[in-house]
Amino acid sequence: MNSNTLFLERMSWPEIEAALQAGMTTAVVPCGAVEQHGPHLPLFVDAEHGTRLGEEVARRLGNALVAPTIRVGCSDHHLAFPGTVSLREETFHAVCQDYCTSLAHHGFRYICLLPSHGGNCKPLANMVDDLNASVGPHCRVVAFTDLVGAIGAWRSTVAEETGHGERVGGHADIAESSVMLCLHPDLVREEAAEAGYLTELSDDVIDRIIRDGLKSVTPNGILGDARGMSQRIGARCIEVMADLMAEFFKKGA
C-alpha cells in the first residue's frame, strides 16, 4: 500500500468510499504543533513528525487511513520564543471534535488521536469523553497520552544506539533532532546543536513547564542535549514510537 492510498487528503471520495466498504474504518489523526525547537530546528518539527508517525501507525494497524494532520496545537508554554503559534485548549478541543464527528459521519468506527507534541497530551486526555459522546455509539475515540512513557522509549532507544540516553529530554534533543535529520535534513542546523535542560523529565517538571513556560527551565528551548544526532538514531526513534503507539491503539480497539 503506497502513501497515496493511506492519506485521506490525497484520495478521491470514491476511493475513500471503496476503502470504507473494504473495512478501512480506522482513522489516525496526528496532532502536531508549530513551535520553537531550539536554535537548530525549524518550527514545524511536530507537525511533520506527526504526519510521518500517522503513516507508520496506519501501516501497522492495517485497516487504517490517515486524516489530515492538525498542524497547530497547544503550545502556550512556548510563546516566550518568537514564531510559536498556539491554539487555546478550547479551540483545540473544538477542532478535534469537528474532525471526529466528520470522520464518524462518513463511517469511520475507530478514531486514533496521535499526538506528536507533548503539550497536546493532557488536553487530549481531558477531551476524550466529550469526543466519544459527540461521535455516537457506533464510533470510538481513543488518544495516546503517555508522554513520560514515550520519552522513556526514546531514551532507551538512544541508549542502545549510542550509550547517551541521558541526552533525551523530550524536546529538540538528540532523539527529536535525529528524527528531523530523517525527515528534512536540509533544515537541521547541526552546528547550532547544544545542551539544554538536562534533568530527567517527570510529571512535576512537565506541570511546571505548562504552568510557567518552557523558558523558565531552559533559555535555549531544549530539553535534553541535541548533540550527537544522526539519521540512524532518527530512523530507530520513528520505528520505536510507531510501534509503541500502534500497540496502544490495537489494545484499545
Count of C-beta atoms within a 10 Å radius of residue 21: 10
Q: Where residue 5 falls among pLDDT bands split at 50, 70, 90?
A: confident
pLDDT in tens, 137-187: 999 999 999 998 999 999 999 999 999 999 999 999 999 999 999 999 999
> What's the confidence (pLDDT) of residue 2?
66
Q: Output the nine-digit C-alpha cell for 195.
A: 545542551
Q: Which domains does the chain have, with CATH numbers?
A: 3-145+242-252 (3.40.50.10310), 148-238 (no CATH)
> What's the confidence (pLDDT) of residue 202?
76
The rounded mean pLDDT for the chain is 96
Q: Taking a C-beta distance cutoff of 8 angstroms, is the pair 61, 108 a contact?
A: no
pLDDT exceeds 80 at position 114: yes
> What's the confidence (pLDDT) of residue 205?
82
pLDDT exceeds 70 at position 209: yes
Triad 223, 227, 233: Cα angle to 5°: 95
Q: Where residue 206 falls among pLDDT bands split at 50, 70, 90?
A: confident
Strands (E), 83-201: 110-115, 140-143, 168-171
What distance in Å separates the CA atoms of residue 175 and residue 169, rounded to the nearest whole number? 9
pLDDT in tens, 74-104: 999 999 999 999 999 999 999 999 999 999 9
pLDDT exceeds 70 at position 200: yes
